[in-house]
Amino acid sequence: MKKVLGMGNALTDILLQIENDSILNELSLPKGSMQLVNSNKSQEILDFFENSFRKMATGGSASNTINGITKLGLTAGFVGKLGKDSVGEFFHNDSLKNGVTPHITYSETPSGCCTVLVSPDGERTLCTFLGAACELDASDLKVEMFTGYDIFHIEGYLVQNHDLIRKAIILAKEAGLKVSIDLASFNVVESNLDFLHEIIKNYVDIVFANEEEARSYSGKTPLEALHYISEQCEIAVVKIGKDGSFIKSGSEIVQIQPRQSVCVDTTGAGDLYAAGFLFGIANGYSLEICGKIGSLVSGNVVEVLGAKMTDQVWETIHQEIKELVTE
């Protein structure tokens, strides 16, 4: 069975549900934004919610995808960087608990974390302290990290480090892996547009983008962007939220309807779509089945707080996948 390797920011998510959005105003945090914060601001936010219930889990876009892939039954690994502290220890141990092989390097800088404030309508406001995670460097990558894997998945948040991404995808290609990238954020796409065009045309096989990211990359509407991106890679996926997703490979185009869900928190929805889709690719399923599995997994994760689901939910997902592939 094929194996998947992911690379991304090794972040520990700290999830908090807030009673109303006025709290965001008090903390000067625009609703739905992703704010990079320093260690002092991160601590200020945590202190504000000192007596509130919090949930901790391994996070970061690629890490969420890789955790989903192992829950679906594939073998997977993760490349990232941690600090030598309790948060880093939690990330490492939780990865192992979830069946992920960690390929970790360490820094003297504190481990990265992301405080996720979830509004009553499910919208997320992210406050990210990157810490050691953003120190992952090209020099940390070794050929042996890629040995034995078949698919290499990168989160778009890393593309600002051009040397890191370029070395990673070259090592992956030399080892015979397919390369997958999730564009992750429209502002990251805008800031690294030329570089993204270069690597997608020359190295990337599978591209995941939501509507805003696709527009930033191509300047086009979702369906037009799908055609545009698919000319540069093997498989293009454009997600359009509650309206589902479009997939194109060569001349084949598939539209996937979304799973009807009661949204609690959108954290990890795109990451888990990628997990389901890549699981399908690894098993040789059709584009339609891959998209339906992605939609199924992402549709389930929005019904829980955070990007982690219970074993009972995963059992239900496994059963629904069996039904999908035998239709």
What are the tens digits of pLDDT across the range 233-286?
999 999 998 889 999 999 999 999 988 887 877 778 999 999 999 999 999 999
Backbone angles phi, psi at 247, to 5 degrees: -130, 140
Look at residue 190 in the predicted model and tell me its pLDDT: 94
Q: What's the CATH number where 257 sits?
A: 3.40.1190.20
Q: Is 12 helix (H, G, I), strand (E, B) or coil?
A: strand
Residue indicated by tokens 């807030």: 18
In the chain, which residues have pLDDT < 50?
Answer: none
Q: How many domains does the chain have?
A: 1
Residue 6: its pLDDT value, please?
A: 98
Q: Looking at this protein, which amino acid is placed at residue 36?
A: L
User: Which amino acid would we find at residue 168?
Assistant: A
Domain span at 245 = 3-325
- DSSP H/E element including 313: helix 311-325
Task: Report the pLDDT value the prediction gives residue 283, as an integer from 0 to 100.
Answer: 96
Alpha helices of 121-253 — where are they, by DSSP H?
143-146, 162-174, 186-191, 193-202, 211-218, 222-230
Sign of CA dihedral 172, 296, 326, 247: negative
pLDDT tens figures, 128-152: 999 999 999 999 999 999 999 999 9
Helix (H) / strand (E) containing 91:
helix 86-97
Q: What's the pLDDT score for residue 121?
A: 86
Note whether 154 and 168 are within 8 A (CB). Answer: yes
What is the pLDDT, as a whole number, of residue 35?
84
Q: What is the pLDDT of residue 181?
A: 98
Give the global pTM.
0.91
Nearest to 119 by CA among 23, 244, 206: 23
